[in-house]
Structure 1
Amino acid sequence: MTTVEDTVLAYWDACEARDWERFATLLADDMVYHLPQTRERIRGRAAFLRFNQEYPGDWHLAVTRVTGDGRQAASWVTSTLDGVEQPAVSFFDLDEAGRIKVVTEFWPEPYEPPAGREHLVERYDPAPR
C-alpha cells in the first residue's frame, strides 16, 4: 500500500527527473494547483503538466521533508534556479484513488528580519539538507 508520503516523494522525484509520463500518473484528471502569492490557479492534469514542462531555466529540487496522514501531506523543498536557492512549502490533497487532487504551494522570498529582536534569536544558514 502506498502512503501519501510515498506519493508526494514520487511527485518530487518525477518532477526533478523531468519524467513527465510518471509525473502525470500521480495526478488526478481534474486536479487543481494553487499559487496564493501570485493569485494563480491551474485546473486539470494536462494544463498542470504543461506548466511544469514549459517552466523556464535549469531548475533542480531537493526534498527536505514530507509529512502526511491519510490523504493529506505537506512538503518542504528547496528549488535551485541559476544558482539561487528558494524554499517552498506545498500542501497536497489526494483523491480516493491515491492521486494528487489539489496542490497549494507557497514560494516565499527570503528577507531580512526587522531590527530589535537580535537578543532573542540566532541566525542560521538556509534550509538544512
Structure 2
Amino acid sequence: MTSSTDPRTTNLRETVESFWAAAEDRNWTAFADTLAEDVVYTLPQTRERVSGRERYVEFNREYPGDWHLRIERIVAEPGQVVTWLHFTVGLDEMYGISFFTGDAEGRVLTITDFWPEPYEPPVGREHLVERY
C-alpha cells in the first residue's frame, strides 16, 4: 500500500487540479504546461482519439459553447487520478468521469473521458429508492 504522501500521487493530483483550473480559465498556455508532449486523449463513447499536446489543446480551445466545469471529486493514487466533474454548456448540465495517467515528470500522459447521459430508471424499484 502506498502512503497518501507519495510524491507521485501528490504531483499528478496537483497537475490534474491545475489542468482543470486552466481549462475553466481558458488559460491555454497553463493548460498545455500540464500535458506531456505525447499526451493521448480518448473518448470511448464516440470512438475518438486525439494525440499530441498541440492537437489536444486546440481540441479544447475550439470546444463550442459557453462551457464551465467544477470538480466534484478527485481520487488519486500513484500514477493515476480520477475526477468526477460537473460540466455545463449554456443551460445543459452533465457529469463526466475522467481517468488520467502521468509521465515520470508528473505531467498528464493519458486522459480517458466518459460522459454518461442521464436516463429514467426501470419501473418496479420505486419502493427501494429515493429519487433526487
Q: TM-score, normalised by structure 2?
A: 0.91
Match of 2:34 in 1: 26
Measure, in 1, the Cα distance between the counterparts of 2:104 and 2:11.
12
SS of 1:3 mapped into structure 2: helix
CA shift at 1:3, angstroms?
2.6
Instruction: Look up the match of 1:50.
Output: 58
What is the distance in 2 between the residues matched to 1:93 and 1:113? 33
Aligned partners of 1:60 and 1:69: how far apart in 2? 26
1:121 — aligned with what?
A: 129
Q: Please tell me whether the aligned partners of residues 35 and 105 of structure 1 are also in contact (alpha carbons under 8 angstroms).
A: yes
Q: How many residues align?
A: 124
List runs of 5+ in structure 2 lacking aligned partners: 1-6
Q: What amino acid does structure 2 have at the position aligned with 1:53?
A: R
Partner of 2:48: 40
Q: Which residue of 1 aligns with 2:98?
A: 90
Measure how far apart 1:79 and its partner are.
Answer: 0.7
State the Cα deviation string for residues 102-129 of structure 1 (Å, max 9, x = none).
00000111111111111111111xxxxx
**Is the CA contact 2:24–2:69 (under 8 Å) kept in the aligned structure 1?**
yes
The structure 1 residue matched to 2:72, chosen from 64, 87, 92, is 64
Cα shift readout 1:73-92 (whole Å, capped 9, x = no counterpart): 00000111111110000000
Please report the TM-score for the alignment, with normalisation by the length of structure 1. Answer: 0.93
Cα pair 1:8 1:66 within 8 Å, conserved: no
Between the aligned residues of both structures, percent identity stands at 52
CA distance in 1, matches of 2:74, 2:15: 10
Partner of 2:24: 16
